[in-house]
Amino acid sequence: MTNRTRAGIITALIGLVALIVLLNASTAEPVINWPVEAYLGTVFTIGWMTGVPDFFTYILAIVVFIVVVGVCYKLGTELYRLLARH
């Protein structure tokens, strides 16, 4: 595993945690429940705004989280490439 990959993984984890914190900033839930609450909140928002069937909103919410992780990973690897250039 290269340093570039490690930087991408760390950036992806930071991005995922930042998304979860952003979605749960004003809730009274314990921190341990934040990931589930963020996921279910995303499901509710997608279902409410689009009116698609329930099973499809769950899939779309998973896709949203995967896209956030993928974009943050790519940003992390490219940022490391730019900063580590000799």
Q: What pLDDT, in 10s, does the model give residues 40-59?
A: 999 999 999 998 999 999 99
Indicate if the pLDDT at residue 74 is higher than 90. Answer: yes
Per-residue pLDDT of 2-20, as tens digits, reads 899 999 999 999 999 999 9
Q: Distances from the Cα of 67 to the Cαs of 2, 41, 51, 74, 82, in angstroms?
A: 22, 17, 21, 10, 22
Average confidence (pLDDT) over 67-83? 95
Query: pTM of the full predicted structure?
Result: 0.87
pLDDT of residue 61: 96
Rg of the chain over Cα atoms, rounded to whole angstroms, equals: 16
